[in-house]
Amino acid sequence: MGTREQRRNGRRRQRRRRSNFPLLLLLLLVVIAAGGLLLNSCVEDENLPAGGDSGSVSENDGGEQEGNAGAPAGGENGGGEDDPSTPPEDADNQALWEGYTIQTMTEEDMQVGLQILVSNEHMYDFPEAAESQLVKLVDHKSSSYTSNVNDTLILPVTVEHLNDMLDDYVAQGGATDIMVVSGYRTYDFQQGLFDRNAAKNGLENAKRFVAQAGGSEHHTGYAVDLYSINNGDYFEGVGEYKWVTDHCHEYGFILRYRSDKEEFTKIGPESWHFRYVSVPHSYIIVDHDFCLEEYIDYLRQYPFDGEHLTYTVGTQEYEIYYVEGLEVPVPESGNYTVSGNNVDGFIVTVEK
């Protein structure tokens, strides 16, 4: 047993311990509540949408599609806060992106594809992706026409549809005297043509009738010049040959340089120069009486995030839209092509 004073001190310590208990209990409850709020916040963050490479266009469904025959596939898409492949989070933009994903292109890709515009104002840099596909015309052409030299180069897609067109021309009664006298041209070859024309006919004549080196459509492999053996002159598209000029758009070709479009093309009329742009674009160009320069401008009215251009050829419906820059929304499935325009962006054509 201790003294009376020791017993009083012991009772005081017990009272102080009992008086501190409610405060400790309150602090414990505060800590538990704070921990619960923190845990709930973490769980909510984990359940937020992740973004990713696709979002969607409910009004402009991309249709069925899988692949891209018009241009290289481009690079890999990365993630991250600033990655344009991540669709916007608001509901309207998510609806726009539904069924689409981003295809990241390069500056070189902008010069590859069926609808590229090449002119003295929009020069061609000879991208390797296109150069590597060139083939010899004589190895792939049909018997409905001839080639003036054995080493004329051209892109396979051009010769395929040229064969179809001239085979049908001959089948309906046309002569077999059409000759391809020019296909693909190198930079140096074009420079030589320009210099010789300037020396013979003067610089102004050369500027009007011969594209500058780097500005010729012949650099692309999509253009051909035709010649009539029977007439001993360049193809004029009159008489029985008029069938080719009138029907070329059905095979994806357009007559590139017309007298009434010189203010846009800056090249004098050439009745023999045909350019492959593919269906349905050739049909639309003819329907609207466009040259290619006008058509490229026209397509800017149909951006990805706006109304898309629709067009039907036979039973096949197409959807077309324009994309500025290098991040190109493409359908997640179905058939489509992506073509650079060689100006500022890309043209996407979707089979519906």
Which residues are catalytic, by number? 270
Count CB neighbours of 281 within 10 A: 25
Q: How far apart are CA 40 and CA 319, in angstroms?
A: 46
Give the pair of three-digit tokens for residue 235. 């193809």
Are 109 and 74 spatial neighbours (Cβ–Cβ below 8 Å)?
yes
Query: Which amino acid, 337?
Result: T
Query: Which amino acid, 77?
Result: N
Closest by CA to 219, choosing from 346, 123, 108, is: 123
In DSSP terms, 58 is beta-bridged to none
The DSSP call for residue 40 is H
Q: How far apart are CA 163 and CA 165, in angstroms?
A: 5
Query: Which amino acid, 158?
Result: T
Are 269 and 257 spatial neighbours (Cβ–Cβ below 8 Å)?
yes
Q: How far apart are CA 7 and CA 252, in angstroms?
A: 110
